[in-house]
């Protein structure tokens, strides 16, 4: 079945300095292989996409990008530079690639302007945000101009995992619990809940947040979120689960297993679950073959594989 993949990464020349330190403990042969795939837009990437049945990939910067840059002006400049680079690559193969904007949130007004430029002028389909920006999270009121622009444009914001400001003390000596095993899910799910409980979706009811990994466990937690919100007297216009269902959509990136897919479909509905592979950090072949073979009715399979993404990102699939 044809597929649209939403969490597919690339690296532009000016962003290596931010990404390289995150790979310091990765053996050089593995590092070199990942970097080769991140910087490739030709035969290597396209062959893997074709083998997995992926017709279209939405490309986003491999984190953390400029979100760790302390100089706001430099971050804004380098984000625009990365977006121009991606636009040039997309123009070479528009039948295969679309883009998510890279955004410097250090200056929220400039971030809103860059999102506007990327959507209106470059044809990007939204933005990918790599976790917290210098310790600041997207529920903070300083980011309201950015959310207002995203809502105005109808531009989904993909919240991609990144490291917290400090690693959790509770992990202790268990380094293997950090990052993709558990830590990124905790951090990204918490970030999304800050937006729910912080009233972002009350202020911007048409804003749409995208989460990978089938929603970072949130579909599993909906009843408890509502129950505890009542217990603690949380003042929102609706129940937390309503915002998760209405303002959040999820992808299957890095969660190629039947049981969490079924939970997400039951909790969110089949219109809110989409395909992704997480190239090059997950096996694109495993992702594609899982989508083709997992037990479900064929109408739901098509919704997840490409229909929902085409509708949500306003993509004309001819």
CB 39 within 8 A of CB 308: no
CATH number of 3-312: 3.20.20.140
Confidence of residue 25 (pLDDT cuts 50, 70, 90): confident
The answer on pLDDT for 24 being more than 90 is no
pLDDT band at 41 (very low <50, low <70, confident <90, very high): very high
Statement: residue 318 has pLDDT above 80: no
Just list the catalytic residues. 278
Res 317: pLDDT: 82
Residue from 76, 194, 63 nearest 138 by CA: 194
Task: Spell out the alpha helix ranges (H) of 101-182.
Answer: 108-120, 144-153
Domains of the chain: which residue ranges? Answer: 3-312
How confident is the model at residue 79, as a pLDDT? 98
Q: What is the pLDDT of residue 192?
A: 98
pLDDT, tens digit (0-9, with 9 covering 90-100), for 246-284: 999 999 999 999 999 999 999 999 999 999 999 999 999
Q: What is the DSSP letter of 178?
A: T
Mean pLDDT of 191-204: 98
Nearest to 5 by CA among 65, 50, 67: 50
How large is the average pLDDT for residues 94-110? Answer: 98
């Amino acid at each position: 079945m044809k597929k649209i993949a939403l969490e597919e990464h690339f690296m532009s020349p000016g962003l290596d300095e931010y990404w390289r330190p995150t790979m310091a403990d990765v053996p050089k042969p593995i590092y070199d292989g990942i970097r080769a795939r991140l910087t490739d837009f030709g035969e290597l990437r396209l062959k893997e996409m074709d083998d997995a049945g992926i017709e279209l990939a939405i490309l986003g910067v491999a984190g953390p990008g400029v979100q760790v840059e302390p100089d706001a002006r430099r971050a804004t400049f380098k984000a625009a530079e990365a977006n121009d680079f991606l636009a040039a690559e997309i123009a070479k193969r528009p039948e295969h690639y679309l883009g998510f904007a890279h955004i410097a949130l250090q200056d929220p007004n400039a971030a809103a302007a860059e999102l506007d430029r990327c959507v209106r002028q470059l044809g990007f389909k939204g933005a990918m945000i790599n976790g917290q920006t210098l310790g600041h999270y997207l529920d903070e009121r300083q980011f309201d101009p950015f959310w207002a622009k995203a809502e105005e444009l109808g531009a989904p914001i993909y919240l991609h995992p990144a490291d917290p400001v400090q690693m959790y003390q509770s992990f202790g000596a268990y380094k293997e619990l950090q990052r993709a095993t558990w830590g990124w899910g905790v951090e990204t799910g918490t970030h999304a809940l800050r937006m729910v409980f912080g009233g972002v979706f009350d202020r911007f009811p048409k804003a749409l947040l995208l989460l990978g990994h089938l929603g970072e466990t949130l579909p599993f937690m909906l009843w408890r979120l509502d129950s505890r919100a009542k217990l603690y007297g949380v003042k929102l216009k609706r129940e937390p689960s309503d915002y998760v269902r209405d303002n959040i959509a999820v992808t299957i990136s890095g969660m190629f297993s039947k049981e969490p897919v079924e939970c997400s479909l039951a909790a969110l509905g089949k219109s809110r679950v989409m395909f992704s592979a997480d190239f090059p950090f997950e096996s694109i072949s495993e992702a594609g073959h899982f989508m083709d073979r997992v037990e479900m009715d064929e109408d739901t399979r098509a919704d997840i594989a490409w229909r929902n993404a085409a509708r949500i990102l306003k993509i004309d699939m001819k």
